[in-house]
Amino acid sequence: MQRQRVRVFAPATVSNVGPGFDVLGFALHRPGDWVEAEASDRPGVELLEVTGDGGALPVDARRNAAGVAARRLWRQARGGRPAGLRMRLQKGTPLASGLGSSGASAAAGAMAANQLLECPLPLETLVACAMDGERAACGSAHADNVAPSLAGGIVLIRSYRPLELVQLPVPDGLFVAVVHPHCRVSTGEARARLAGRAFPLPDIVANAGNLAALVAALYRGDLELLGRAIEDRLVEPVRAAMIPAYDAVRRAARDEGALACAVSGSGPSMFAVADAHDAAAAAASAMRRAFRAGASLASDAWVGPISRRGAAPVD
């Protein structure tokens, strides 16, 4: 159904999920970003306003993740569409947090633009457009944030060229705690630390075993196995060094019964998984205390199941 105006919510995401660097991510219920879009007689895609970002993001459709994604999608439209599109971005996802902030904006931008087309484009196209938005924001066109933000649930990127996504099952009874300490890690900078690095085979083998077991655990609904499998030997050690109190936070989550705790995306946010809401909430509290005690950092936390719903219109 073609609309003249739409408001889309796109969820923040946890990417990497331990051993799945650049290939695995899942969607949260909160936080997330909103994009309002309306048809316009003026040709092209305009970004009128960005709120909730403290003025940090460009209000320019050619440089903002949401605008770039919407522009690319708009260009690919087949069939009828309005001459132009005017959009407003409302940030709910903290910037440079490791929670897929630019990914959520890009997903919301692509999805909002798609809602105004007579012939909406398929998910893979939305992901490709949102990856362009991601690249504009952080210099790298990875898909492990935008894909779960658009599709919901847990998404595997089997291949980037060609782009192929595999939706993985979300086990019942799985709860996630996400804690965002009030400091920033730029995704671009975090990725620059990895550029050109080479990794030894024993660590690659250890990661491969965990990643394969993680997927098996999702299909089996085996949360203990999932917990053991969320352990990364390749990228996380590099990123841990950029996150104050990393060790203490991880220990705190596990001491509260979390099945695993790891860096979300490029950090500084960290996430824990648990087999009950109470355990996830207790882990979140313990992780917040550890950021406070170990690094004098205030933090926010979100606790809940993985969201099976991706970017979608809201009222």
The contact set with its own copies (CB under 8 A) reads: 19-24, 156-160, 164, 166, 168, 194, 196-201, 204-216, 219, 225, 228-229, 234-235
CA 91 to chain centroid, in Å, comes to 14
* Residue 94: CB minimum distance to its own copies, A: 26
Q: Which is nearer to its own copies, 208 or 314 (CB)?
A: 208
Q: Which is nearer to its own copies, 205 or 293 (CB)?
A: 205
Q: Give dist(CA 20, CA 15) in Å, integer.
A: 8
* Residue 113: CB minimum distance to its own copies, A: 28
* Residue 248: CB minimum distance to its own copies, A: 25
* Residue 274: CB minimum distance to its own copies, A: 20
Q: Which is nearer to its own copies, 117 or 130 (CB)?
A: 130
Rg, C-alpha atoms of the chain: 19
Q: Give dist(CA 45, CA 75) in Å, integer.
A: 10
In contact, 136 and 68? CB cutoff 8 Å = yes
Beta-sheet strands, E only, within 3-111:
5-15, 24-40, 44-51, 84-90
Q: Which is nearer to its own copies, 228 or 289 (CB)?
A: 228
* Residue 258: CB minimum distance to its own copies, A: 19
* Residue 224: CB minimum distance to its own copies, A: 11
In contact, 210 and 227? CB cutoff 8 Å = no
Helix axes 123-138, 101-115, angle to 10 degrees: 140
Q: Which is nearer to its own copies, 8 or 150 (CB)?
A: 150
In contact, 109 and 133? CB cutoff 8 Å = yes
Q: Which is nearer to its own copies, 95 or 194 (CB)?
A: 194
Beta-sheet strands, E only, within 76-170:
84-90, 154-159, 164-168
